[in-house]
Amino acid sequence: MRTDKILPRYVFIAHFDRAPLQQLARQYRIHGEIPARNEVLRRLGLDLAKIPAEFGYRLCQATDAEFAASARNSAASLIELEQHLPVQEREILLKVLHASIAGHHSATAQHELRVAKLCRWLGAAIGLPANSRTRLFQAGYLHDVGKIIVPAANLDRAGSLDPNESDLIRRGHLIFGYYLLTQFTASREAAKIIGFNHIFDGNTPEGFSFANITVEGQILSLVDYFDAITEPRKYRTEHYTTKQALTFIKERERDGFRYDRPLVAAFEQLLKNGV
Ligand SMILES: [Fe+2]
């Protein structure tokens, strides 16, 4: 494959400085070695994280089609990169996408990793097959990647946001992230789970509803919610203990906020056993 044909297209957004990436990509093509590749991937992820704050503001109140187009444009070079990777190596893109959020807001990336592990454990606890557990891990690992369009400072000050800023956090990150992940064959299966993640808040991409929610969708939603209310976050002084969180989740069931009961019971058991 000729590298000079594709390298000029390694542009994420207009602001991106191409030179360092071109150099790294060339290195990757020539050597194909693990250290060189990891460096390329790390840089690709970090550069995706450089999407400026104004990018997100333009997407306030955007339609699904606008989110999809923006996701395609922002990740154009990564999408192309994936097409040039052998199928068995495409999972690397998952690490790139995770690195992008790690470069933007590390607490979010840590939250994703905890959610990924818990999702896989819960999947195992209720007897889901290996491929489903893998999908669940990937979904947890990437479910907040859309937060790259939310200014990092806003992720730490949820209490004092204007309506557009909170729209971006509540709905925007999920819709953008979903469409971003549908662009890659490596993350398409995870996206099918992530689309359900905020269903209880009424924030889903087109085509995701209570009528077609999957058990995997419920698992991600439950685990993400649990982790979000139990982890310390900069913008609040208190967070729930495990016990309080489980009580809260069950209490919300009374208001129609309801996960499958056996799933919640299995999750409770899992936490009791001290995963
Ligand atoms: Fe989350």
Going from the C-alpha of 108 to that of each of 47, 79, 229, the distances in angstroms are 17, 23, 13
Give the mean pLDDT of 44-70.
76
Residue in the block written with tokens 């906020």 = 257
Calculate mean pLDDT across residues 116-137.
Answer: 97
- Ligand 1 centroid–CA 87 distance in Å is 28
- pLDDT tens for 130-172 read 999 999 999 999 999 999 888 888 888 766 788 888 888 889 9
- Structure tokens of 129? 């097959």
Q: pLDDT at residue 20 above 60? A: no
The yes-or-no verdict on residue 4 having pLDDT over 60 is no
- Percent of the chain past pLDDT 70, that is, above it, reads 74
The answer to whether 21 touches 47, Cβ cutoff 8 Å, is: yes
The number of residues making up the chain comes to 275
Nearest to 93 by CA among 21, 174, 187, 9: 187
Between the CA atoms of 197, 201, 206 and 208, what dihedral angle is there, to the nearest 10 degrees? Answer: 50
What are 123's two structure tokens? 């999947």
Report the distance separating Cα 143 and Cα 52, nearest Å.
Answer: 20
Q: Which residue, chain included where needed, has tokens 């001290």?
A: 274
Tell me what the mean pLDDT of segment 58-62 comes to: 81
* pLDDT value at 11 more than 50: no
pLDDT at 17 over 70: no
Assign 64 a pLDDT band (cuts: 50, 70, 90): very high
Q: Give the Å distance between the CA of 35 and the centre of ligand 1.
A: 30
Residue 30: is its pLDDT beyond 50?
no
* Domain CATH for 53: 1.10.3210.10
In this predicted structure, the answer to whether residue 16 has a pLDDT above a threshold of 50 is no
Ligand 1 center–CA 147 separation, angstroms: 9
- Cα 65 to middle of ligand 1, angstroms: 23
- Take residue 78 and report the two structure tokens written for it: 């990564």
Q: How far is the CA of 169 from the centre of ligand 1 (A)?
A: 11
pLDDT at 24: 45
Q: What is the largest CA-CA distance in the chain?
A: 60
> Which pLDDT score, from 0 to 100, does residue 47 have?
61
163: tokens are 């309506």
Q: What is the separation, in whole angstroms, between the first and last Cα of the chain?
A: 47
- CA 17–ligand 1 middle distance (angstroms): 30
pLDDT on residue 5: 33
Q: Which domain holds residue 236?
A: 3-272
What is the reported pTM? 0.81
Output DSSP code: residue 254. T
Ligand 1 centroid from CA 180, angstroms: 16
Separation CA 53–CA 75 (nearest Å): 16
- CA–centroid distance, 61 to ligand 1, in Å, is 20
- Encoded amino acid at 84, one letter: H
How many angstroms separate the CA atoms of 115 and 10, rounded? 31
Sign of CA dihedral 149, 166, 142, 233: positive
Helix-strand-coil split of the chain, %, nearest 5: 70, 0, 30
Q: For position 158, what pLDDT does the model report?
A: 65
Q: How far apart are CA 111 and CA 228, in angstroms?
A: 8
Q: How far is the CA of 120 from the centre of ligand 1 (A)?
A: 15
List the structure tokens of 118: 């818990």
The string of pLDDT tens digits covering residues 70-94 is 888 888 777 877 777 778 778 878 8
- 199-248: pLDDT as tens digits: 888 889 999 988 899 999 999 999 999 998 898 765 666 778 888 888 88
Rounded to the nearest integer, the mean pLDDT of the chain is: 79
Q: How many structural domains is the chain composed of?
A: 1
